Amino acid sequence: MLLAFRAENVHSFRDELELSMEATALADDGVPRKVSWRQGGRPVRVLPVAGVFGPNGSGKSNVLKAMSVFRNHVLLSFRSGDPGGGIPRRPFRLDKDSTARPSRFEVDLVLNGVRHEYGVIFDDERVLKEWAYRYPRGRSALLFRRESGKPIELGAGNRSVGRAVEKITRPNAFFLSAAAAAGHPDLLPLFQWFEDSLLLAEASSRQVRWAYTTHLLRHERSRDLVLALIRAADLGIANVRIRPLDPQVVDRVRRAAQILSGREEEAEAAPDVDLTELGLVLTHQGGGDDIDFDVSEESLGTLVWLGLIGPVVAALERGSVLLADELEASLHPMLVQRLVELFQDQEANTNGAQLIFSSHDVSLLDDTTGHRRLGRDQIWFTEKLADGNSRLYPLSDLGPRREEAIGKRYLAGLYGATPIVNRAEFVEVAQLIATGEHG
C-alpha cells in the first residue's frame, strides 16, 4: 500500500507537495488498515481513500498527474527513451529559475510486508540522483544509491546483477527501469508496484477505459464483478452483451488492457477506440420485457460510469492505487459516495486497494445529516498562491473538531482553498452583453 508521495517542481507545484496516506489520531474508527511493514514490528495504519478539494485551476488534477508522470518515467525511461535524447518533464513554468531546476519524485510504500522508499531527481538531460531503500527489520537497508558522474552504490544482495544493470543504464534512464528489464530480483517487485498501481482515470483516458471495461466483460473471471458494479449503480441496466467484434477491434481492446497494465506506452500506442465499435448492448429493465439499447443511446453519466468500472475492478483485484480526476463528473452524488464507501469497506476491499481522487462534491465532506464519507485525515486541499504556485495541505493540519461541519465551513472559505470570485466582474460582463459593446 502507498504510504506517501512527494514531488517538487512538477506542473503547477514549484515547491514540495506531500500526500500522506498514513492515518493520524483523527482517523475514523474502522477505516485505517493495519499493515505490517517490517519483521516483528508494530503495523502501520494506512488510509484506503484520500480526497483532494479546491477551486478550479488550483492544482487538484496536477497532484494526480504528478503521480502518473512518475509511474510513466519508471515504466518507460529505459525501454522507450531516446538513447541520445533528454528526459521529458513538466517543471513549474511561471518563473525562469524553476524551468532550469531539476524535478524530484519520491514514494514510500509497503511491499510484501516490507517498507520501501524510492526516489529520483532529474533535469532535462539526465538523472542526477536516484535511490531505493527497504526496511526488513526496521532499519534502512540500501538497495542502491546513484549520483550522476559516480559509480552506483549497491546493496549487499545481488551485486553482480546490479553491476550488469549499471553498464546498461543510460544517463537519461532510471536505474530502476533498467533493473526491471534485466530481471533484478530485489528491484523487480518495486518496479511491478509501479506497473500495477497508480491507475489514472481522467477525461482524456476515457476511450482506453471503455475498451478496458469491455476487455473485462469478455472474461468470465471479471465479468460478474463488472456486471455487479453496473447493476449497483441503479442505471436500470440488467445485463450487458457484446456483439462479435472485428479482429482489429479485438486487438485494440487487448492493447487498451496492456496500457492500463503499464505494458504499452500510452502516448504512442493508445488505440483509437470508438465506443460504438465495442459492440456493447445494454439490456434495460422495462415494465414488461427487457429491452436492448446500444451505447449511443445511453446518458453521459452511464458512459462515464462504464469507463470508470474497468479501473475500479482492476484496483480492487490487484490492490492498486486508483487516481480518479474529478470523480463526480457526470455522476450522481449518491453513486460517488457509494464508490468511496466501497474502498473504505474492509470486507469489500480485501486486497488493500486505495482511491485518491479530486472533486468539487461537498457532500463527500458531510451531507445534510452531518454524515461524512471521508475522515478528517482523508481530506486535502489545494490552493493557488499569488505567484501561481500550487499548495497542497491536509485538513488535519487545521485541527478540525469531530463534530465540525466541514462542508459548510469549506464553502465559507474557512479552510482556504476557495476561489476568489469577483461578483462585480461578472456584472460588468453581463452589462457588455446587454449593451452589445463586446463585439
Contact 115, 106 (CB under 8 A): no
Domain of 300, in residue numbers:
204-318
Tell me which of 135-149, 191-205, 251-265, 342-356 is least confident.
251-265
Q: Are 181 and 241 in the same domain?
A: no
pLDDT at 396: 95
Model pLDDT, residue 237: 87
Cα(143)–Cα(162) distance, integer angstroms: 9
What pLDDT, on a 0 to 100 scale, did the predictor assign at position 382?
96
In angstroms, the CA 172 to CA 130 distance is 12
Cα R_g (the chain), whole angstroms? 23
Same domain for 346 and 308? no
Distances (CA, A) of 329 to 35, 60, 120, 299: 32, 14, 33, 13
C-alpha cell at 187: 528491484
Domain count for the chain, please give it: 2
Q: Are 178 and 187 in contact (CB under 8 A)?
A: no
Please enumerate in sequence order all residues whose Cβ is within 8 A of that of 239, keeping only pairs 6 or more positions apart, or say none.
Answer: 227, 282, 283, 290
Where residue 202 falls (left for φ over 0; alpha for ψ -120 to 50; beta otherwise) is: beta
* Residue 191 and residue 61 share a domain: yes
Regarding whether 210 and 333 lie in a shared domain, the answer is no
- Residue among 189, 197, 26 at smallest CA distance from 115: 189
* Contacting residues for 38 by C-beta, under 8 A, at least 6 apart: 113, 114, 115, 135, 136, 137, 138
pLDDT digits (tens, 9 = 90+) for 351-383: 999 999 999 888 898 865 557 889 999 999 999
Residue 124, class by beta-carbon neighbours within 10 Å (0-12 exposed, 13-18 middle, 19+ buried)?
middle
Looking at residue 321, its pLDDT comes to 96
CB 9 within 8 A of CB 101: yes
- Give dist(CA 432, CA 439) in Å, integer: 9
Residue 267: its pLDDT value, please? 40
| Strand, coil or helix: 64 | helix
User: 399 and 416 in one domain?
Assistant: yes
Domain boundary among 318, 335, 370: 318
One-letter amino acid for residue 276 of the chain: T
More confident of the two residues 81 and 339: 339
Mean pLDDT confidence for 400-406: 90
pLDDT for the residue 74: 94
Mean pLDDT, the chain, as a whole number? 87
Asked if the model's pLDDT at residue 241 lies above 80, the reply is yes
Average pLDDT over residues 145-158: 94
Check whether residue 208 and residue 148 sit in a common domain.
no
- % of the chain at pLDDT higher than 70: 90
Q: In 3D, which of 203, 207, 198, 197 has the Cα closest to residue 326?
A: 203
Last residue of a domain, one of 277, 300, 318: 318
Confidence at residue 206, expressed as pLDDT on a 0 to 100 scale: 81
Q: Are 191 and 78 within one domain?
A: yes
Averaged pLDDT, 313-324: 92
Q: Residues 8, 130: one domain?
A: yes
For residue 121, what is the domain's CATH number? 3.40.50
Residue 246 pLDDT grade (very low, low, confident, very high; cuts 50, 70, 90) = confident
pLDDT digits 0-9 by tens, 42-77:
899 999 999 999 998 999 999 999 999 999 999 989
- Choosing from 318, 335, 367, the residue where a domain stops is 318
Question: Are 111 and 134 found together in one domain?
Answer: yes
Looking up cell 462504464 gives 306
Tell me, yes or no, whether 186 and 228 share the same domain: no
| Chain segment 184-233, per-residue pLDDT in tens | 999 999 999 998 888 888 887 788 888 888 888 888 888 988 999 988 88
Q: Distance between CA 319 and CA 321 in Å, rounded?
A: 7
Burial environment of residue 151 by CB neighbours within 10 A (0 to 12, 13 to 18, 19 or more) = exposed
Cα distance between residue 101 and residue 96, in whole Å: 9
H-run or E-run covering 103: strand 103-111
Burial class (CB in 10 A: 0-12, 13-18, 19+), 414: middle
Low-confidence winner among 13-27, 120-134, 267-281 (lowest mean pLDDT): 267-281
Residues 186 and 66 in one domain: yes
**Cα torsion through 155, 157, 159, 165, rounded to 10:** -80
Give the pLDDT confidence score for residue 268 in this predicted structure. 47
H helices then E strands: how many in the chain? 13, 18
318-337: average pLDDT: 88
Q: Are residues 339 and 302 in the same domain?
A: no
